[in-house]
């Protein structure tokens, strides 16, 4: 499967079949390693670069939610429908897949902590895929 070397390097690969994938670096999504008790953290605005599918994975030491909000514009002003959400169970890996085919230019990831103590986040990954 061809992979992009970095975000924004579309058009230089020949992809006769399969899918193109890119893992969004932590320096781009900006999600921290912890979430304060009873609070939430939101990623930087992430550009989809024409990718059609998103998978967000995370393990939290506390229960909460992981949410993806998509936007029609690069400024993150025009919401593309309701946020997509998955529940987080403490110390259990969770993946939220965005596969409904609705178009979007950018998105954010929000991770909440519903517990009374801080949550540590591990295995945080944001994967984009397109054809």
For 16-57, what is each residue's pLDDT tens digit? 667 889 999 999 999 999 999 999 999 999 999 989 999 999
What is the pTM (predicted TM-score) of this model?
Answer: 0.87
Containing structural domain, residue 40 = 25-126
- Does residue 49 lie in a domain region? yes
Please state, in angstroms and as integers, the Cα–Cα distance from residue 65 to each residue in 23, 27, 54, 104, 130, following that order: 21, 22, 16, 22, 26
- The tally of domains found in the chain comes to 1
- Does residue 15 lie in a domain region? no
- Does residue 37 lie in a domain region? yes
Q: What is the CATH number of the domain that holds 58?
A: 2.60.120
- Does residue 105 lie in a domain region? yes
- Does residue 57 lie in a domain region? yes
Residue 5, pLDDT > 70, answer no
- Does residue 18 lie in a domain region? no
């Amino acid at each position: 499967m061809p992979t992009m070397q970095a975000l924004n390097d579309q058009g230089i690969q020949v992809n006769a079949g399969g899918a193109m994938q890119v893992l969004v670096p932590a320096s781009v999504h900006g999600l921290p390693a912890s979430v304060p008790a009873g609070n939430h953290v939101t990623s930087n605005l992430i550009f989809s670069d024409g990718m059609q599918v998103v998978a967000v994975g995370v393990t939290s030491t506390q229960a909460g939610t992981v949410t993806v909000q998509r936007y029609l514009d690069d400024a993150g002003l025009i919401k593309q429908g309701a946020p997509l959400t998955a529940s987080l169970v403490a110390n259990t890996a969770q993946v939220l897949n965005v596969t409904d085919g609705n178009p979007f230019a950018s998105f954010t990831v929000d991770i909440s902590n519903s517990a009374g103590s801080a949550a540590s986040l591990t295995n945080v990954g944001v994967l984009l895929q397109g054809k």
